[in-house]
Amino acid sequence: MQSHPVDRQFSCTGLYFLLLLLLLPALFNRHHHVATVTAINTETAGEHQQQQTTQPTLQQQQQHEKPEEQQSQPQNNSKPNIIIILIDDMGFNDVSYHGSNQILTPNIDALAYNGIILNRHYVPNLCTPSRATLLTGKYPIHTGMQQSVIINDQPWGLPLQEQLLPEILRDAGYATNLIGKWHLGFWRKELTPTMRGFDHHFGYYSGYIDYYNHTNHMLNRNYSAGLDFRRDLSPWPEADGLYATDVFTQEAERVIYQHDAAAKPLFLLMSHLAVHTGNENNPMQAPEEEVEKFSHISDKKRRTYAGMISRLDDSVGRVVRALSNKGMLNNSIVLLYSDNGAPTVGIHSNAGSNYPFRGQKESPWEGGLRSAGLIWSPLLQKQRYVSNQVVHAIDWLPTLASAAGVPLPPKLQLDGVNLWRVLSENGAPQPRRLIHVLDDSVGYSAYTRGALKYVNGSSFNGQYDGWLGDLPADEQDPTAPYYVQQVLSSEVQHVLGSDALSVEQVESLRAQATHSCPDNKEDYTQDVYRCEPLLEPCFFDIEKDPCERYNLAKLYPL
């Protein structure tokens, strides 16, 4: 039998693959929920009522006290603030802590280097399923949310019988806020954020909006354009003409500065529009002063995308600064990740890069499923390391609840597991089995058990099966030689700088978080390694071959 370059001692792989297939049904024995939403009387006693308060105009919000003038309000309650920064459609290769020098993200990187870089962080490969997974702690197949995304006129949403993370935290005494994107259904009022555990929502219901006028306009469905921007349940036209990332950042600052930290801990889900495309008639939008910073990038779309990332990085710095000024940062958990991989090509393409991983958003490959992610908190016992623990979005509900000391209702039947201790202590990696994609309506599936990943079928007739988003070597940021200095002088590092990072730490952590796969085409293009998932299943040793180049199915047949 021919040996292969991935693992010359992989003699038991065939047996493992057989066991994998035999054990697949055990993961699917739970009742498969449908997405039909049971009718509920809107006048049911006990329905959560929104507080009727006079809301400030955006101009008034922008005129809140400057950060240095804010009075610090130390937090007296024991539960930590939980801040989730959820980025939309950002590529794994588009944060510079993974090694790319084309788009530098010093604030995000400083947060990563001071916390934990999640090098094997997995998510569903599409917007709606990913958000449902975060809020329920369940695979989309167990909530009926696995089938594509919710289009505006479709009468379905996240089932009302599901108890969501904001509901659990609010019951435990948290103030709960959602800023930005929802995309989990809004055809009935009961499905909207302020009816699902969020005290307040400032943002939009659909999959995307224009970055400046905040309308949603789906040309491919012949819809009329309409404003999709709300404060709680009321339309909010006040932000017209202002860049969405800035508007959401200003709102986050307002929420933080006005929060009564002595009375309640804060749960803030900051669900960005960036870097998803806007409406089809003008999909790529960023302030011109941001785009001009990236003249070294020749592709216009990619250059605008870089401007979108840059503004997002500034936003992270501002939010961390606000938490510090308010006296809340020392009792906070900050989680940041992308909801799925970037769509390099095809539908809603933003020119993001998941390279060197294979595939992209809405595919069964690592490029669609492995998300850039990090977690930071002074509550972590171990910090400043790169974690290779397999983490999935299903895990954040039980993990964050554990970190906050919030008991979970036993009826939840979660798919996720509590990884707080493993991450906090940098413990031995916990073995995992993950269902990445399972839906016969889309014609493909992906599953991982330990080191082995199984892929059967593919999306869009295999259009996304390649290694997309390889960046030109000669288009590096001209300031890249000073990258470490940019991280050390970033807003985030200034805030966290009591125990300063060293140059050596930054360089070491970055090297550990950088993925590279030998480009030996003469080797992995041989027939024995070729993967054609539309014809037959493939499987990979994802630990030794994260770029999914060496299909092992032919070497170790059943």
Q: Catalytic residues, which ones?
A: 127, 183
Strands, E assignment, 196-243: 200-204, 215-216, 226-227, 230-231, 234-235
* Cα–Cα distance, 136 to 395 (Å, whole number): 10
Report the candidate in 101, 50, 459, 524 with the shortest Cα–Cα distance to residue 306: 101
* Cα–Cα distance, 158 to 330 (Å, whole number): 34
Residues 6+ apart with CB under 8 A from 148: 126, 128, 442
CB 177 within 8 A of CB 183: no
* Cα–Cα distance, 457 to 450 (Å, whole number): 21
* Cα–Cα distance, 159 to 372 (Å, whole number): 28
Token pair of 349, please? 């393409």
Would you say how long the chain is, in residues? 558
| 527 to 208, 452, 500: CA distances (angstroms) | 42, 20, 51
Say which DSSP state 476 is in.
-
What is the CA angle 138-312-93, rounded to 5? 70
* Cα–Cα distance, 254 to 295 (Å, whole number): 34
Say which DSSP state 532 is in.
-
* Beta-bridge mates of residue 433: 449
CB 284 within 8 A of CB 350: yes
Residues 6+ apart with CB under 8 A from 506: 109, 113, 484, 487, 488
| 37 to 7, 127, 145, 257: CA distances (angstroms) | 48, 20, 11, 37
Report the candidate in 361, 552, 539 with the shortest Cα–Cα distance to residue 463: 361
* Cα–Cα distance, 413 to 148 (Å, whole number): 23
Token pair of 339, please? 């909801």
CB 238 within 8 A of CB 58: yes
* Cα–Cα distance, 496 to 507 (Å, whole number): 18
What are the two backbone dihedrals, phi and then psi, of residue 150, each rounded to the nearest 5 degrees? -85, 120
